[in-house]
Structure formats: structure tokens, C-alpha cells
Structure 1
């Protein structure tokens, strides 16, 4: 095994989230979608919004363009009004008025989503949560944190770290995404294998319904077994049932020792067997297991100017351990890697607990999406598949699209069966689009997988929801939507498939 020497030099760039400079087509022109029967914004509406908010928090005209385009440049709306509330009461007044006028709205956090869920499809009013960024309380004894939904994930992590806590969620977009957006999409992230998803970590929410009613579902306890847990309606519903304005989240004690291993693997079967060995030998300290194929890693190292410490292999894996005793954890990780190499599961690897080197290794993984966008237009799919079939869709799709695509690659959270599948081309290509959809979702469904592992449904996937949910389940979702948002003003054209009328 080769170890990272202290003299090794790795160059890495500060993370930046920006899509291709080319402005995408309007969503209504690129996709077959019809505008709903909603009111068209007029000057009186703008005046009403300015009476609720300070005038400078009502954005109109050209300044709204950035709020209309998603991060990957796949969809673009035509909203001319962006509202920036600071309080739950302001959100309530906005929604009360919009509901009375039947004005469609779209809540927006950091706008780092990958399924078109956080931008307008047509001319919906954007409610930006960026100014609702107050951390109200950090209880270091219970680990419970109460904050507004517009707090940036990285800022929340920095604040709780001062109390020796950590946020049970880590994403590549942490420098931009909002914790409220994470909750609204039930974001998964890099350490779900250790901390679970947000349905388990979020103890309560405050949300505003379409009619302006404020639902106080906050809690100060992990154990609060009082009737229906209504908070779960808002976790993962992508703003379609209500706008999350505050939340209470349990933050565990921050690990005192973090170690990282980056290894090269010759084939996918060895990926599986190495993962199985890691679960057996690392057990309670294992916090993350990631898989990256050769093409994916090549994109991030080349386009983001990052030097990989290993030579080229068909697959790479990242193992992170988090514990309280560094000597103990480092010994366990080293023994695991030695055993993996003796069994010929791992071809080569590096291990480190130096923060700069760990950051470099994580950037090779986290900046893959960014690097692909620098190279052209990327069709991105976020699916859950049985581990025995986890990677096989990549070569199948590569053969299906042939020379039409520049790159077909896959990477993701092998620790929780979540594959990120990517098809790269120069620009949006209708021929490739027809080849990959609905094929990807049909393939996933045949394996009893999920068409959305962690990114949500958004605008891109409502018509494919039936591949993962029964008709009865979708009907019940629709009943909840009708009950809580009868005028369907909240994030329309998203999550649920349109009714055949």
C-alpha cells in the first residue's frame, strides 16, 4: 500500500457552483408542459408584495434571471417577481394573498437541486428563503438545533462545531444549499450510512400552508410520541404541501478522529466484496463508502485541476471512519486495507487523517458533477439499485447511446445503494433524451429500484413516479395535495404527475 507522504502536494480549487454559461431554452419550449390556470402578475400584485416586505426585498425585471435557471442549466422559467421574506409571518402573508388571487409560487433555497424543483416552470412568483438565515438556538446538552430554513448548510455546520456537534448531513453543495431545502427534498448526502436520512434527524418543522396558515410542528425532543407525526409530510415533499420556514434538527457529537482511505479497484465484484469487508471490519466507525468509476474521476481531476494520488483503475472507493480515538481508528482502517489487499480486492490505496489531503480526496468525488457541467450538457439520473446490479446500467446505457454521447459514467453512495448516472453531450440533445428516458426508469423499475434516491422528483420525474410508487400511493399523495393546497399554487408542475383531463 502506498501512503500519502507529508511532502505530497495536491492542488485543489475552491468549490464553486455554476452551470454552463449558455442560457438554456425556456422550459415550456424544451418540454411538453402546459401552463395552469393561474393569475398573471400585475402592478397591483407587486404593490401588495411591497406592502408586505420592504421594497428592496421585492425583486423584479432583469435581476430575476438567476432565480429562473437551475444549477445544471436544464430548465428555465420566466418569473418577473422574486420575494425575499425574513420571517414566517411574512411568508404567511405572501401565501395568503397569492392563494386568494390564485398566483402560483415556487419556494427556492440555494437552488442547487438537480431535478428542476426549485425554479419556476412558467411565471410563478419565486419565494427566496435566503434572508431567513437565523440560527435561533444550539443546545449542546441535547444536541438539538433550532434555525430558520434559509441557513446555508456549511454555515450551520460551522456554528454547531463550536459546540462540539456536527450536522448529520454533508453534501457537495454545502457552501450554497439551505438546510430548509435539504429538509424539503429529504437530501441524502455522503454520510447517510452513518446518520440515516433527515426523516430520522429532523425533530420538528414550522411550515406555512398555501392559505397562509402557520403549522407549528416544532419539537425539542427526540421522543415525542403524540399522535400523527405531521412533520413528515413536509420532509421530502419539495414545497408542494407547504413552505418550511423553521426546523429543529438533532446534531450528534462531532467525531474527534476522522480517517480517510482512497483505493483503486480492478472490477465491480471487488467493489462489492471490499464494501462487505469494510462493514465487517470497520463496523461502528464507518461513516461513508463511495464508489467512483474511471471516467467520473477523470472528469474531476482534469476539469478541476486536482491531482489523484493513485494511478488509473476501473473503479475507486472512498472509505471514511469517524470515531473518538484516532490511534484505534487508524489501526482498524489500516488493518482493513491490508486485509483487502491481501485478498486481492484492492489494487492500491492511500490513507490519511491530514485535513488538507482529506479535502483533496473528497473534492475528487464532490466536484464530478461540476466538472461534467464544464464539459457540456449532462443528463443526470439519481437512482437506487440493488448492489448486485448497482453498476451494470452504466455499460448498458453506454452501448445504447453509442457515439451520440461524449461520456457515460457512474459514481455514488455504494454504502446506501445510490448511483449517480450521467450522460454527457455537447448540448441538450433530443435524440439522446429519447434514448435515455424512459429507458433508465424502466430499467430501474425492473430491478425494484427507486427512480429518485435522494434528489427528489422535481419537474423532471413526475411522469416516472409510477415506476416506484403504486397507483394507490400516488392517489393518496394527490388527496393530500388537494387537502393542503386546493388551488395548487405551491410549486406546480412538480412531484405529482398531471391528471389526464
Structure 2
């Protein structure tokens, strides 16, 4: 998702939280610029028992990195203190920009010894407040850790530093006929280290799986500065515990990812997209099952959009359906190596679903420009958020109950909502639920949460599909997981980061005062 989709006129609440302009508990004044506001005034979270930055600390960092890689100017600090959407704002007084693992090691060792809290930051495209400070944590940015170290074209494995931008890695792979097995709207700015730290999902998880299956190895620096070398390039390695999996999805709370070894599949030679209109959700599910049967080896994406989402997009950004109005829409993508074969299979599939009345209408695109035009229908829906007041949620749900939640929330919200709508990655059960309201208020927020989370739990779903817990959902960790699981997470955190300096206030519950 592109940051240009959002401007300072929008009123957006992420996970039911409304933000106001105030001053925080450590004396950090917030500028009244767009969404900028002070996190600690919206959330009554107490600052941990960390030391505050002093001139001696700054001197160490400047000696290590040089003046130009130590940022302390207030104007330059703004972008590092604010999340991608402007929902949360910290007040860090310093940003460090290491280039090497050795520098990261020295930074973490020093901060651990001096009990200085650290906020790990990549491209800062996170949407749950995981990549920005809550108080005055030291921001350690991977912006300059952007070297592609090695590419083995035979095995399809690339090794790179954590700060490499996702799109840049994909461009590097293009000449070798390979691709990154991850596609995100933020690919032009997100970093691979952040993708791994959040176990990012994306548009084509149905085809390529999540990063747990594609990351072959990691290099990670522990809180005390110790470097853990798990940077394997092998698909098979059963010599003990698979430690890399501890850090995938840990959102920077267990260690600082510095290098990534990634398995990259062959780049598709043909990409085709179908856009269908359907009568009801039962036929959506039948079409999905049929697509998996008939398009199995080339099916790469299966997105669903309800009619209310399309109505919202039409009203806000002028997007219209190319096939008319229907209760549900499907965007189906295939990708393969033989254009004629792939197009023929998709044509036959479309004929079948139309003859069987699973779909009422549809269109097919095989040329790149037309493929991109159809994808734009799905990708531009969030652009409408800047024109309205919307609460945004991200859930995983059993497919049989996928849109039940949307209907439940429509009934639950009643007159408090203008629209309740859903779209998302049906192929992996990921629903993006949106609630448009006339005006944001505490009444609205309290009416939505925790009701929506409780309903998701009753449906045996997950309250966070691909966005993680970060800061905004951290207080629901114990709600979403059994006590034994949370206790094991706490034990791992205590073992790897006993002083709690790595990304404090993130993932693990913080208590309301």
C-alpha cells in the first residue's frame, strides 16, 4: 500500500484507537501536523525502567558511526518517530544508521550495558506500531544496510543485508529469471529484514507460502551484541533446532536481523487475471474450490471484494467495476511458464464457472497493461480511506465463516456505522474488515472493541493475520493465546533479552493504568 494513499485530511483509526494532540509523560511536544500525535497520551502505558540518553552516549555513537550516521536534528527525526500511517508517534532523540553487523553488535552491546531501550526500524511500513518508538527509545535504522551479498542462480538463493528494499531485491533477481516470493503494496519502501521480522504475507501467499518456508537462514544480533550465525543456504539442514524460526515474526523483540538468506522461485513468463461477479458467498467458495482443482499448478492469487467495498471505492476514489454491479467480486491470478497453456486453462475455467452459474459475469486480462488495470481495482480500495473515517482490522478466519464477521459487525454497529465492508486474500483466509463511521468517538471505539476480537476468537480465527501485534494489539496477546503459549514467549524474551531493551512495549502486553 502506498503512503500517497493517505493525507492529513483523513481521519483513520487503526484497531479502534483514536488519536489526539497532547504532550507525553517524558515531555515530548507533538507538532500538529496531520496525524502526528503522542502515543503515550492515547495509551496509558508507563515508560520502562530504562536510562535516558545523555551526551556520553551520543559521543560513543558518533565515535562509532561518524556524525553523518547519527541523526539528532529534530526536523530529521520526525519521519523515524512516526509510523507509516501516522497513527502513533514517539519522541526518540537519536537515530543510528549502522552499515555492518559489527556496528550493530557494538550498538546493542553498549545499549544493553547502559540499559538504553532500542527501537529497531526498517522501511517503517508497519501498520501496528511495531517499528516506531513509544517513548524515547533509540532508533536503530537498517537504511544503510542495503548490500546484496550473493546470488546463486543455480539454487535460486540470494543473501542480502536486512535493509535491502524488497523491490530492489526483485529487480536484482529479474535478470536471472528469478523473483522474490513476496509481493506487497509497500514493496518500494519496505525492507526485507522488516518483512522477515513481521513474517509478512502479501498478495501471493497462496502460491509461494509465508516467509517461514522461504527464509533459509538468518544472521541475528542478540541484545547483548552476540552475533548468531544461522545464515544457511541449504533447504535441508536438520543439525539441531531451527533457530531462525524464532526470529521470523518476532517483530524485533528477540533479536536484530542483519542478514537474510532467501529461496527465490522462477519468475513467471505469463501472468493472467480474471475478474468475476458472483451472486453469493457460497458460490464464491465453490469457485475457489474449482479454481484450486482446475488451475492448481498456476493459481497464484485469489482475492475477494464485497459489493459494499466497491460502493465505498466508487464514492471515494471513483473506481468502478468493469463488469457491472454484483454482490461479490473475485480477482483470480494465474502465473506460469507457458502463455498459451496458462491462458487456455483459464479460459476453460471461466467458461465452466459461467456455464455452471457459479459466476454471473467476468472478464479476462492477459496483456500486462490490462492485468495491472484489474489489479488496480483491488489495490486502490484503501485510497478511499483518506476521504472518510474508517476503522481498519486484519483477521484470519475459517473460510466458511469468512464473511459472517462482516455481517455480524454490520448488525452490531447499527446506526453507528455508515458502512461495514470486507475484502482480502481469500486464498489464505485473510480478511481486511473496514468500518466507516460518521464521526470517531470513544463510544464508537468501545462499541467495536473488544467485541470484534471476541467474535473472531469464537470463530476460531486470529485477530492478526499478517500485520502482527506490534504496539497497537500488544495488550490482546494474552486474549489471543493460551497462557502456556504466552508464558513460553515470555521465557524466550527473558532468555534472549533479559533487560528488555529490544523493541519494548511491542508484542508483549502492557498494562493500562
What TM-score, normalized by structure 1, do the two folds share?
0.93
Which of 210, 213, 230 aligns to 1:197? It is 210
Aligned match of 2:409:
397
Matched residue SS, 2:164: coil
CA–CA distance in 2 between the matches of 1:79 and 1:137? 35
Q: Answer yes or no: is the 8 Å Cα contact 1:242–1:490 preserved in 2.
A: yes
The alpha-carbon distance between structure 1 residues 86 and 225, as it changes in their structure 2 partners (threshold 3 A), is same
Q: Does 1:482 align with 2:482?
A: no
Shift, 1:85, TM fit: 1.3
Give secondary structure in 1 for the equivalent of 2:295: helix
- The answer to whether residue 53 in structure 2 is matched with residue 41 in structure 1 is yes
Q: Find out whether 1:463 has 2:463 as its counterpart.
A: no
Match of 1:452?
464
C-alpha spacing 1:157/1:344, structure 2 compared with 1 (3 Å): same
Is the alpha carbon distance of 1:406 and 1:151 closer, same or farther for their aligned partners in structure 2, counting shifts above 3 Å? farther
Secondary structure of the 2:249 match is coil
* 1:426 positional shift: 6.3
The match for 2:278 among 265, 270, 279 is 265
CA contact (8 A) 1:172 1:367 kept: no
For residues 428 and 492 of structure 1, what CA distance do their matches in structure 2 show? 29
Q: Is the 8 A contact 1:19 1:73 kept in 2?
A: no
Aligned position for 2:65: 53
Does the 8 A contact of 1:185 with 1:237 survive in 2?
yes
Supply the distance in 1 between the matched residues of 2:102 and 2:418 (Cα, whole angstroms): 49
| Residues 256 and 389 of structure 1, relative CA distance in 2, 3 Å threshold | same
> Is the CA contact 2:3–2:85 (under 8 Å) kept in the aligned structure 1?
no
CA contact 1:408–1:424 (8 Å) conserved in 2: yes
Alignment equivalent of 1:162, drawn from 172, 175, 183: 175
* Structure 2 segments unaligned to the other structure (5+ residues): 9-33
Q: Give the drift of 1:483.
A: 0.4
- 1:248 and 2:235 matched: no
Tell me which residue corresponds to 2:193. Answer: 180
**Is structure 2 residue 387 aligned with structure 1 residue 375?**
yes
Aligned length: 487
* Residue pair 1:300, 1:365 contacting (<8 A) in 2 also: no
Structure 2 CA distance for aligned equivalents of residues 405 and 476 of structure 1: 39
Which of 284, 287, 305 is the equivalent residue of 1:274? Answer: 287
Match of 2:323 in 1: 310
Tell me if structure 1 keeps the 8 A contact 2:309–2:423: yes
Contact 1:111-1:118 at 8 Å conserved across structures: yes
Residue number among 118, 124, 133 corresponding to 1:111 in the alignment? 124
Specify every segment of 5 or more residues in structure 1 that has no aligned partner in the other structure, as ranges: 1-13
Structure 1 residues 157 and 64: CA distance shift in structure 2, 3 A: same
The match for 1:288 is: 301
Secondary structure of 1:419 counterpart: strand
1:153-204 Cα distance to aligned partner (Å, 9 max, x none): 1111111111000111111111111111110000111111111111010000
TM-score (norm 2): 0.91
Deviations 1:45-96 (A, max 9, x none): 2222111112111112222111112122221111121111111111111111
Residues 20 and 73, structure 1, Cα contact 8 Å, conserved in 2: no
User: RMSD value over aligned CA atoms?
Assistant: 1.9
Structure 1 residues 231, 409: closer, same or farther in 2, change over 3 A?
Answer: same
CA distance in 2, matches of 1:427, 1:486: 43
Change (3 A) 1:180 1:301: farther
2:346 aligned residue: 333
Report the Cα offset of residue 432 of structure 1: 1.8
Q: Relative to 1, partners in 2 of residues 1:138 and 1:428: Cα closer, same or farther, differing over 3 Å? A: farther
Residue in 2 that maps onto 1:491: 503
- 1:321 is matched with which residue? 334
